[in-house]
Amino acid sequence: MGTGFSFFSRDIPSSSPPIKPGLGDLPESCVSSILMSLDPLEICKSAQINKAFRAASLADFVWESKLPSNYKFLVDKVLDLESLPKKELYAKLCQPNRFDGGTKEAWLDKSCGQVFLAISSKALRITGIDDRRYWSHISTEESRFHTVAYLKKFWWVEALGELEFEFPPGSYNLYFRLQLGKTCTKRFGRRVCTVDQVHGWHIKPVRFQLSTSEGQHAVSECYLHEVGSWVHYHVGDFVVNKPNMPIKINFSMVQIDCTHTKGGLCLDSVLITPSKFREKLIKCT
C-alpha cells in the first residue's frame, strides 16, 4: 500500500512551472525610455497596453522631448495659463491658438510637434483696404479667421506683412492663400463662388517676396489663373539656424501695373509651414 502511493507521487510535479515576465513587469522608468523613441500618436496608443505603459505615458520628461524647442516662447506668446503637465501642454499647443488681437494663429502638428503659423488678412497692410469702392471684408466659414479681404476692382494691388516670431531650427515655407472669385454662403448644401468680377490677372504676374532679419531673400512670380478654388501660392523658403532666437520676416504680394485694373480676388491669409509639409499642402490645395 505504501509502495503504491510512493510510485504515483513521483508523477506529480513538485511545483508549478515558472511564470515568464511580461510587459507589465517592466519598470516604469524603462517603459518611459521606450516611449521617448515613439511619436506622440504612438505614445497615446501605447498607454492602452497596461498600467505600466499608461503611467509612463504621463511622464513629463516623455512629453517634453516631443515639444518643440521654442515651446516656452509659445506658452508665453499664445497661452494664458498656469503650469500644466507636459502632456496637457502638448495637447493645448496642438489646438489653434490666437494671438496679436486674434489676427495670428499658431499650432503644432499632432504627429510630430512641428510649428505652423497663420496670419489673417486683417494683419496685413493692404493698399486701399479702407475704401469700400475697391475692397471689402467678407465673412466666410472657409477661412480659419472667418473673414477674408475681397478686391472688387483696383489698379494698384499691394499687401504687405511682417512678423517677429521664434521658430525651432529648420526650414520653412511661406504661402499666400488666395482665391479668384467671391465665396458666398452655401446654397442647398452646395458651395457657391461668383466669378463675374474676376479680371486682369492674366495680363501680368503677381510678384511675391520675403526677406528675413538674417539676410535671407526670396522672390517668385506667377499668374493667378485658377478660378473658384483656394490656392496656396508659394512665396519662398527661409531657414532658422539659431534656437531660442526670434526672427523677423517681411513678406508681400504686389501687382502694380497701372495699365489695367484687377478684381475678383479673395485674400485669406499667409501660412508658414515646415518645409516637409509642402507636398502634402499642395495636394490639399
Residue 108 lies in a domain: no
Residue 205 lies in a domain: yes
Compute the CA torsion angle 269, 270, 276, 280 (nearest 10 deg): 30
Full-model pTM: 0.85
pLDDT of 14 higher than 60: no
Residue 283 pLDDT grade (very low, low, confident, very high; cuts 50, 70, 90)? low
Euclidean distance between CA atoms 60 and 215, whole angstroms: 38
Euclidean distance between CA atoms 215 and 211, whole angstroms: 7
CATH code for the domain in which residue 121 is found: 2.60.120.260
Mean pLDDT, the chain, integer: 87
Could you tell me the residue range of the domain that residue 171 belongs to?
Answer: 115-284
Largest CA distance in the chain: 121
Residue 123 lies in a domain: yes
Q: Which helix (H) or strand (E) holds 35?
A: helix 28-35
Task: For residue range 178-205, list pLDDT tens digits in order.
Answer: 999 998 766 667 888 899 999 999 999 9
Residue 153 lies in a domain: yes
What pLDDT does 1 receive? 45
What pLDDT does 52 receive? 75
Residue 116 and residue 100 in contact, taking contact as beta carbons nearer than 8 Å? no
pLDDT of 162 higher than 90: yes
Residue 223 and residue 160 in contact, taking contact as beta carbons nearer than 8 Å? no
What SS3 class is residue 245? coil
Q: pLDDT higher for 7 or 90?
A: 90
Taking alpha carbons only, the member of 197, 20, 41 closest to residue 112 is: 41
Across the range 31-40, mean pLDDT stands at 77
Rg of the chain (C-alpha set): 28
Residue 71 lies in a domain: no
Euclidean distance between CA atoms 285 and 18, whole angstroms: 59
pLDDT of 248 higher than 60: yes
Give the count of domains, the chain: 1
What pLDDT does 7 receive? 40
Residue 67 lies in a domain: no
Residue 20 lies in a domain: no
Residue type (1 letter), 31: V
What pLDDT does 9 receive? 45
Exposure string of 119-154, with b = 16+ CB inside 10 Å and e = fewer, is bbbbbbebbebeeeebbeebebebbebeebbbbbeb
Q: Is 183 exposed, middle or buried (0-12, 13-18, 19+ CB in 10 A)?
A: buried
Q: Which three cell numbers stand for residue 267?
A: 485674400
> Which of 22-36, 146-160, 270-284 is the least confident region?
22-36
pLDDT of 13 higher than 60: no
Residue 72 lies in a domain: no
Q: What counts of helices (H) and strands (E) characterise the chain?
A: 8, 15
What pLDDT does 2 receive? 47
Task: For residue range 62-86, list pLDDT tens digits in order.
Answer: 889 999 999 999 999 988 776 889 9
